[in-house]
Structure 1
């Protein structure tokens, strides 16, 4: 295991991922700089988080920026559209008082064009071409890349991370970590851990050798995009063989680190829009909450919201919606909310699931039964996408979620249904 092995508290973390500029009703374009409610206005939602069964909040960028938050201009100042440092400190204190952890989103690969170093330096901190032109990030003219070979950039990131950890946050989501040399994280993170040994560092990686980048960068975890893709795509395309292959790889990752798992975030089409057949929406959530990993729920998914990400200016707005001032004003999606509570409760009763691995008992295009196992316990999970009933020969186990009918040969899951069983204590082979 790498030096930055995850702090013990992460084993029990389940996150609620929020995009504050959207959640709080600010103008994300930066054109009119319309302020939203301050980050302190998230405080009334903390009991909602607990009611859902979660104990952590991931806040997408909240630092001063030009537009959508990912074009940071000052790592040491809260975006004026979201209030002040005092507002964040208030929120963090209120969360801590309820046992809720807080992660901030650090955009340390690139910055906005009006970014200025917090102290006078000889030359800027940006990566430049041989002709002196700034390097942009993935063709976005408003995002310019930091020079990660410059030790002053490493110093800046160390100080920015430590500054907010000093103010009570618990760790960092490292945006676009895949674009940063792992050696940079390996120089930075041990220095931060010297001051905050209990901090958690999770990197955003799309397609990568996750085990290698976590090891090389001294990270605690990485976003499991492979599993996200396999979950929704295998259900939508009725091809559980795709998911089965992804879970084989997922088992391998779990040997060295605990991946950060999700079925929705601020960058992708919502799961309820990815999967056409609403009867199969629960199947995706079941997988998220029974598989090994550190799960995250993207705000709105717990209410079954639908939205499609579009490749245009403002194409993310629909997936980053405004939430009301008061949770009591949010009446939609009650059934989906209750399903989240049920499955999060199942996971809470079985904390060993964080490192559990899987193996297939039945795998066809439309029917999938898996065993989820660790030293401390075992679950059986059946997912049925077909019009035919799914027979499952599961013995010495109790039905703990979903619906199934007991038969002489075991159990039967109805068409388009799902079920979870737990091994009866003392029945392990």
Structure 2
């Protein structure tokens, strides 16, 4: 895993939505992101994770040309300008590689496509507009490597591999062998993350299991579910580093998902004090609401356009932005958390003390989602409050108000 990636924190943007390009005609819209890079830097992230930017028919995941910027976003010059502006601010760039399937207009020899039981071109998960590639074909491997190398040479630092779970791990292993220095993160939803990492050679996989357990445990007042998922997350670390998140372009917004808005800070405290490479989905840092629906256009609410500049954001979101800043600050001051093991040293349905440890340090994340204050019976010798949702006001570090959280280090 590249040295810079050990400390990466991503701001994840879906460009077609962010720029208002999704249902628009051609235009030079990618440059709108340049006006938000200082906002990202001030948030505290170290990289910009982009959704699809290549030519497609609709939502970007039906690619028709991997070598061409989507005309709705602009052209090569717009891409190069964004890379230069990001690099000038110390930000890395992660691209979305859609290599499991392509759009109906993708120009390739017939044998590049996978066949179904009737001998017809297979489609991805029932989506007629998404044709599945045959990853046993050497020419498909050559194409994918050529595409990835092309954009790495233009300034990208790595790839998020869409629907990686639908691709044989052995295919990614061959890609890894030919691109040894690129950071590669695969979209894997279910299953044995560690085994997939071992077989594929990828650096990271998306940690959906921990994402689900975080909001579900808070909603159900069942922190045992969170502890179980954290133990599973520990197990991944022998084989790679999970890509952790509370939101992305495919799921309901975390501010909407949580049954109690007071628990947003709890979710963020977990995200930034446990192992992984964290990402923040654009708008989540401003407490955006949005529901993902399984219907045509059901993603639009979670992939909205942003205003031209940060000055156009509503005032209500800025306290949540500042909370992100504080917790990202904790993460950046303790970079060893990327590979820390997290274990509960105290656990009930509504209260938990999570100890994240590594050779370089120890942090305690204290959570109380109950209706009464809780003094957690843990040893906090030598630790002080790094962050909390309420002022200390002379209370013991281990005393957590009702629906409160505290990070000790």
Distance 1:291 1:175 in 2: 24
Query: Which residue is 2:146 aligned to?
Result: 159
Distance 2:28 2:146 in 1: 28
Return the match for 2:10 from 7, 10, 15.
15
- For structure 2, list consecutive stretches of 5 or more residues without a partner in the other structure: none
Query: Deviation at 1:107?
Result: 0.4
Query: Which residue is 1:334 aligned to?
Result: 318
Query: Deviation at 1:96?
Result: 0.8
The farther-off stretch of 387-396 and 260-269 is 387-396
Query: Deviation at 1:212?
Result: 1.1
1:93-108 correspondence runs (5 A): 93-108=84-99
Alignment check: 8 A CA contact 2:103 2:131 kept: yes
After superposition, the C-alpha distances for 1:65-122 in whole angstroms (9 at most, x for unaligned) are 11100000010001110000110111001111111000100000001111113xxx4x
Secondary structure (helix, strand or coil) at the match of 1:80 reads coil
TM-score between both structures, scaled by the size of structure 1? 0.92
RMSD: 1.4
Alignment check: 8 A CA contact 2:28 2:75 kept: no
- For structure 1, list consecutive stretches of 5 or more residues without a partner in the other structure: 1-5, 423-429
Secondary structure (helix, strand or coil) at the match of 1:162 reads helix
Alignment check: 8 A CA contact 2:162 2:187 kept: yes
1:132 aligns with 2:132: no
Query: Deviation at 1:328?
Result: 2.2
The farther-off stretch of 15-24 and 369-378 is 369-378
Alignment check: 8 A CA contact 1:35 1:80 kept: yes
1:371 aligns with 2:352: no
Query: Deviation at 1:372?
Result: 1.1
Distance 1:39 1:189 in 2: 29
Alignment check: 8 A CA contact 2:194 2:238 kept: no
Query: Deviation at 1:218?
Result: 1.1
Return the match for 2:254 from 271, 286, 303.
271
Query: Deviation at 1:292?
Result: 0.9
Distance 1:348 1:411 in 2: 23
Query: Which residue is 1:323 aligned to?
Result: 306
Distance 1:182 1:365 in 2: 38
Return the match for 2:46 from 40, 55, 77.
55
1:5-404 correspondence runs (5 A): 6-28=1-23, 33-35=24-26, 38-117=29-108, 121=109, 123-193=110-180, 197=181, 199-332=182-315, 333-393=317-377, 394-402=380-388, 403=390, 404=392
Structure-2 change in CA distance of 1:222 and 1:370 (3 Å):
same
Query: Which residue is 1:425 aligned to?
Result: none
Secondary structure (helix, strand or coil) at the match of 1:82 reads coil
Alignment check: 8 A CA contact 1:289 1:347 kept: yes
Distance 1:130 1:298 in 2: 39
